[in-house]
Structure 1
Amino acid sequence: MISLKSTLAKPYSKKVFKDIQKWAQNPIKTQTKVFKKLIKEAKSTKFGEDHDFKDIKTHQDFVDRVPIREYEELKPYILTVLNGKENILWKGKPLYFAKTSGTTSGAKYIPITKESMPSHIDAARNAILLYINETGKTKFIDGKMIFLQGSPELEKKNGINIGRLSGIAAHYVPKYLQKNRLPSWETNCINDWETKVEEIIKETLPENMTVISGIPSWVQMYFEKIILQTNKPIGEVFENFTLFIYGGVNYEPYRAKFENLIGRKVDSIELYPASEGFFAFQDTQLEKGMLLQLNSGIFYEFVKADEFFNQNRERITLEEIQIGVNYVMIISTNAGLWAYNIGDTIEFTSTNPYRIIVTGRIKHFISAFGEHVIGKEVDHAIKEALENSNAQMTEFTVAPQINPDSGLPYHEWFIEFSKEPESLDDFASIIDKSLQNQNSYYYDLIKGKILQTLKITKVVKDGFNQYMKTEGKLGGQNKIPHLTNDRTIANALYKLKMIK
């Protein structure tokens, strides 16, 4: 029997598709309109006055007055807002602060306003509606949908609610989905991840699950626990499971593993949400890339990644971009972020419409599982281990091991010692504990048994130099990256037999 929701979904999805086409087919006009509105709305804010918004008429005017900023450079304004002041970065006060792990000085607080909040909700909904419009599939709407996310419990400071973005979004589930949506509010509020997953399994096992959504590494853990309990592939446990929605990390390394766990292929939709804004979503199953959200109160600028650290780097807009070039994405938003570097690098796969893929971060990092480990953290961790041992080190690099021969994935540390520690296990333990102390995401992944603790692989004497020599990068200003999000260097070290 076809439900009312399924019946209404097709005409509604067609309407949303047509609405999106209006701005997607007029991208430059749409972005110009967004830009002008942002400047006008923020003209009388503290930031607008400090940067002479009243005289900004063109993009070049904006470039001349508003430099690209990292979080730390915007922090004084954000702290003022946190202290209860109004009209600082945007008119009035934010509705929320999305709390995220910071890269240099603890937590980051990203404002979300009444103007910006709808785009966080509408984009995810529209991704599903465009999937319906393209495929004609609606049966999944009548089943249960699970969204693995953070706790919806919020704290309050000076009248502003603070929490994780996914927890904030949980407050905006539309009424027509509330009966279909799992897990329950009570289960979502559980902070201990292992306990939470067990409760989610109890709630979902008896249900007709049709849509499952979350970061691939977390969903993989959920799948594996179900298979352990039922001794059946996911596709048999949930016979009508047909759609996987994901974001946060690249799904491709997981895809084969997922299909093995499920026992068959399922359609997938990629999303590009962040605390700073919902930037893009996959609008078609037929083309590569995600549709850049140009009508969501976000004005985009781009800097070529290989020129980003140059003094005379050029900030360009949509009409100047080229397909296949790696860009750093800079945003200005109706949440009060101005020429803000979110740190991501992207490439355009299409300009009609404008579609992108996320290629990584402008700075070296590891986030194969959503852990966001950065150079500062690994440098501090190994320094701590060296200070608490008799070891001496020449060089090191870190890479994720996503598909080990056995056991859980882990971070593999390649270290060239000039003097080896008395106990390699103790040395590794100091590094791992240091990383857990510095990085809450890494801590959660270890405690949640998504990752096992790191493993050290010893590199032969002069091994890194031999690697750099083969790359034509020996000497000069060339440096071994202390961490990478792939195994290019790791595989080269093995291939060159630079491993002890």
Structure 2
Amino acid sequence: MGLKSALSKPFAAIAVWQINKWKNNAVGAQNKILKKLIEAAKETAFGKDHSFTKIKNYTDFKKQVSVRDYEGLKPYIDRVVAGEEDVLWKGKPLYFAKTSGTTSGVKYIPLSKESMPEHIKAARNAILTYINETGKADFVNGKMIFLQGSPTLTLKHGINVGRLSGIVAHHVPAYLQKNRLPSYETNCIEDWEQKVDAIVDETIKEDMTLISGIPPWVQMYFDKLSEKSGGKKIAEIFKNFSLFIYGGVNFEPYRAKIEQSIGKKIDSIETYPASEGFIAYQDSQKDKGLLLLANAGIFYEFIPTDEYYNENPTRLSLGEIKLDTNYALILNTNAGLWGYSIGDTIKFVSKNPYKIIVTGRIKHFISAFGEHVIGEEVEHALLSVANDERIEITEFTVAPQVSPKEGLPYHEWFIEFSTAPKDLIAFSKKVDEALQKKNIYYFDLIEGSILQPLIIRTLQKDAFVNYMKSEGKLGGQNKVPRLSNDRKLADELEKYIV
């Protein structure tokens, strides 16, 4: 056992002891955070506009602060971006995390000197809880790779701007820097395909023990490694590779192909980081629930998804939630986001401790006919059948076809298969039946002959990669939406149909 792995175990034990202190009283931790946030921001422009000095509890807070998305908060953010101080949070942000918005164009998410350390601590603790639970620490002696955006930053009115993953690269602890790949120069390559090629060249002969990234882009890295090595499995190339850390998308649609590429079962840790805050991570190999970080500078609110578009939806604090209910996630952060709808939907799978799974995006659904099908439902329907029949999926998305040339409307599925079904019609029928079982409204529409059963379009190899490249969204934190309620993505994908 190396020195780093030996030292990591007592370090991990201390970290878990600290985590358990708030984990066992998460509601109390949340109440304290709300008070701290209100106190810290009461003299800001937002705090004055929303009478923070009058807020004594969560009930008062809901009266003063409405729920809003980026567009709703944009007038304040524009002032921050222009260089004004004390607008949403005290002083100026440390960074702006630059993200792509569908309606807002480029979004600038503030990161403060209080919020930035929480991102780093959460990423560190995800690994330390794994070490503490499993006793496995040898991987810290090998090389680690974090597939991420460029760390190159630009200045905007004196504030550094970049992608979150690139910003985080500047805060990797010194004791990990010697183990970390790729090199800074390679990380700065903007073209994703060139970057992955360079990463392959740098890492193929190294002792890689930990690999981290968004699953579809990790798969691209694995494919290029295998190609360069003459078809070897990843486990043959990296004999000590033992831990995969991922986030950003649901892993299940990618699991079969990634595990096949690796060539052996390895442990994995799911994380839930966002530019707005590090929200949760998997703290146990014994279950897939993600521990909600109730003591990380964020006060959470939850709106039942079926009320989200109501004029006055129900807003709940952590102590009021129910299990197995879909909620839209609302954040109030120590970087100055208030009543902020992040756009994700989650479901609690445990209250002791509070653990969640991510179920989709509030705007990624299909309800062209009132069915309100969500990401969790389409993923379950497809994967339950694909796994039974040993069909491998590379990527997929679903859109409504409201005005077909003939026949009833239907849900159109665009799927890139790694291993295609022998009988696509039979496969489609089983997937449709599985979706009907998950969504009663969809079942009623099929039964009532309002919709015909779903239709699958098989796409060419690398269809989604080529589409993302054409949109300038290849790699980094970019993801293909599982569901669209319009035809914009579907129409673009039609050119890739086999």
Check whether TM > 0.5: yes
| Residue of structure 2 equivalent to 1:354 | 354
* Letter of the structure 1 residue corresponding to residue 344 of structure 2: D
TM-superposed deviation, 1:400: 4.5
After superposition, the CA RMSD in angstroms is 3.5
Whether 2:73 is the aligned partner of 1:67: answer no
Looking at structure 2, the residues matched to 133 and 172 of structure 1 have their Cα atoms a distance apart, in angstroms, of 23
Q: What do the CA deviations read for 1:271-309 (whole angstroms, capped 9, x no partner)?
A: 000000000000000122100011111000001011111
| Residue of structure 2 equivalent to 1:190 | 189
Change (3 A) 1:396 1:84: farther
Change (3 A) 1:128 1:44: same
* Letter of the structure 1 residue corresponding to residue 235 of structure 2: G
Are the aligned partners of 2:200 and 2:221 in contact in 1 as well (CA < 8 Å)? yes
Change (3 A) 1:374 1:315: farther
| Residue of structure 1 equivalent to 2:415 | 401
Matched ranges for 1:413-492 at <5 A: 440-441=472-473, 444=474, 481-482=485-486
Are the aligned partners of 2:329 and 2:343 in contact in 1 as well (CA < 8 Å)? yes
| Residue of structure 1 equivalent to 2:119 | 120
The alignment's TM-score, normalised by the length of structure 2, stands at 0.78
* SS of 1:403 mapped into structure 2: strand
Looking at structure 2, the residues matched to 151 and 202 of structure 1 have their Cα atoms a distance apart, in angstroms, of 18
| Residue of structure 2 equivalent to 1:417 | none
Looking at structure 2, the residues matched to 83 and 237 of structure 1 have their Cα atoms a distance apart, in angstroms, of 49
TM-superposed deviation, 1:481: 3.7
Unaligned runs of 5+ in 1: 384-390, 407-427, 452-479, 487-498
Change (3 A) 1:392 1:69: farther
| Residue of structure 1 equivalent to 2:442 | none
* Letter of the structure 1 residue corresponding to residue 52 of structure 2: F
Looking at structure 2, the residues matched to 438 and 217 of structure 1 have their Cα atoms a distance apart, in angstroms, of 17
Poorly superposed stretches of 4+, deviation over 6 Å? 366-375, 391-396, 432-438, 483-486
The alignment's TM-score, normalised by the length of structure 1, stands at 0.78
Looking at structure 2, the residues matched to 435 and 151 of structure 1 have their Cα atoms a distance apart, in angstroms, of 21
TM-superposed deviation, 1:28: 1.2
Q: What do the CA deviations read for 1:2-23 (whole angstroms, capped 9, x no partner)?
A: 2221111111100000000000
Are the aligned partners of 1:45 and 1:88 in contact in 2 as well (CA < 8 Å)? yes
Unaligned runs of 5+ in 2: 367-374, 380-392, 421-459, 491-496
Change (3 A) 1:437 1:130: closer
Matched ranges for 1:216-295 at <5 A: 216-230=215-229, 231-295=231-295
Are the aligned partners of 1:210 and 1:242 in contact in 2 as well (CA < 8 Å)? yes
Are the aligned partners of 1:243 and 1:267 in contact in 2 as well (CA < 8 Å)? yes
Whether 2:322 is the aligned partner of 1:322: answer yes
Matched ranges for 1:107-256 at <5 A: 107-230=106-229, 231-256=231-256
Q: What do the CA deviations read for 1:177-231 (whole angstroms, capped 9, x no partner)?
A: 0000000000000011111111101111111000000011001011111111212
Looking at structure 2, the residues matched to 46 and 370 of structure 1 have their Cα atoms a distance apart, in angstroms, of 48
Matched ranges for 1:335-414 at <5 A: 335-364=335-364, 399-405=413-419
TM-superposed deviation, 1:253: 1.3
Change (3 A) 1:372 1:257: closer
| Residue of structure 2 equivalent to 1:312 | 312
| Residue of structure 2 equivalent to 1:473 | none
* Letter of the structure 1 residue corresponding to residue 290 of structure 2: M
| Residue of structure 2 equivalent to 1:333 | 333
TM-superposed deviation, 1:137: 0.3
Change (3 A) 1:395 1:95: farther
* Letter of the structure 1 residue corresponding to residue 211 of structure 2: I
TM-superposed deviation, 1:256: 1.4
Looking at structure 1, the residues matched to 156 and 216 of structure 2 have their Cα atoms a distance apart, in angstroms, of 32
